[in-house]
A = this chain, B = another copy of it.
Amino acid sequence: MTKPKIHTMKELSRAISISRPTLARYFEDETSVLPSTAKKIKDRLSEVDYVYNFLATRQNRKSTDLIGVVVPHFEDLFFASLLGSIETAARAAGFTIITQSSHGDAESEEKAIRKLRSMNVDGAIIAPLGSNKNLEIFKAANEDFPIIFADSYPGTDSSTADFVGTDNSSSVGIMVDYLCRTGEPPVFLAMPQLTSNALERQNAYFQQMEKQGHHARLVETPEGMELWEFEQYGLEVMGNHFSHGRHVTDTILCANDRIAIGAIRAANTHGLFFDQDGKTHGALRIAGHDDHPLSRFIFPAVTTVKQEINEIGRGTVELLLKRIREGRQGDSIKILRDGALIIRESA
């Protein structure tokens, strides 16, 4: 015997004699009704052929309960962790996330934003590329729904954007201060200029070195290495310096841990970290920034500044929900989190 086909929640309510509001709550979130009610509904649903239609229920509402998330790459544990914490916070608030990668490419980023607009998301959290190319796209999208920028700013002008991220001047400052207190002042190995963090962290390094009365120096980097493969970047740049005996210093501060991991690999292959007895002699120091999940498993483990990724993820969702509820009147809101110094073995 085939089950009776039921098309609308109204029909369903009549067929299994459960009130529509209760059914609606149940389909949104089973845990929002009494367990006994949930069980009763489940049992009776098994006797009919009905599929709850999320899109249909959203169609006649202002809200889709969808949040768009765009990151430059999934294949970066920083963004993957950010995505994880955003998804957890969004789900807890009853939202579903639509995730798009911009694949580090401005055109893909534009496509991703257009997709989010076409899906009528209630809001979006975007970890943007550094380029200025999509500022107009963001502006246009921002007229449809609130956008919170996470981790970095689009382009260079941060004035109008809602933002949640790390206070680079504080986090880099802490590390420069630590390195200067405990040894030779650091030379800075900058990130490829792919996001606003690259310039912010470099400037933060210059400011703190000046404050400490030290001469700031950048590690020379070859042209045309605007890689997202940061470990490879750190490995090639420092490998090149080490193999020419040109390591201008014994203390290198890398703009992020992925670069530091590559630089540490380069130092290890040149035997620069270990004495004859296999212990680090402590002359060469390489520090990073972010506290990448694998940094403590590298040998020597990476001394770094921890970014509170989970706090940043939760913070972006909270701020976005506030904007969705209250609209975007008033000034932009910036939530800058401090980093925490984590001293391990590499510096």
Contacts and interface: CB of A to CB of B under 8 A. Distances in A.
Given A99-B97, A278-B271, A53 B118 contact: yes
Contacts of A52: 117-118
Contact of A297 (B114, B262, B278): B262
A84 B98 contact: no
A180 interface: no
A84 B101 contact: yes
Interface stretch (A10-18, A74-82, A158-166, A192-200): A74-82
B75 A75 contact: no
Interface stretch (A56-64, A149-157, A330-338): A56-64
A298 B297 CA distance: 9
Contacts of A118: 27, 52-54
Contacts of A144: 51
A235 interface: yes
Contact of A268 (B27, B115, B293, B299): B299
B59 A55 contact: yes
Contact of A59 (B59, B64, B75, B298): B59
Contacts of A268: 299
A231 B278 contact: no
Nearest to A309: B75
A341 to B, nearest CB: 21
Nearest to A64: B55
Interface in A1-59: 27, 30, 51-56, 58-59
A114 B262 CA distance: 42
B54 A120 contact: yes
A84 B76 CA distance: 10
A297 B117 CA distance: 40
Copies of this chain, tallied across the complex: 2
Contacts of A202: none
Given A118-B27, A265-B297, A271-B278, A74 B80 contact: yes
Given A74-B87, A75-B77, A298 B265 contact: yes
Interface in A119-171: 119-120, 144
A297 B96 contact: no
Contacts of A87: 74, 99-101
Contacts of A59: 55-56, 59
Given A77-B80, A274-B274, A231 B55 contact: no
11 contacts: A51-B144, A55-B55, A55-B59, A74-B83, A75-B293, A77-B77, A87-B99, A231-B297, A235-B297, A269-B299, A276-B276
Top 7 closest A-B pairs, CB basis? A268-B299, A54-B118, A99-B99, A74-B84, A54-B119, A74-B80, A80-B80
Interface of A: 27, 30, 51-56, 58-59, 64, 73-77, 80-81, 83-84, 87-88, 91, 96-101, 103, 111, 114-115, 117-120, 144, 231, 235, 261-262, 264-265, 268-269, 271, 274-278, 293-294, 297-299, 301
Given A76-B80, A91-B111, 14 more contacts: A54-B118, A74-B84, A75-B84, A77-B77, A84-B101, A87-B99, A96-B115, A262-B297, A265-B298, A265-B299, A268-B299, A269-B299, A271-B278, A274-B274
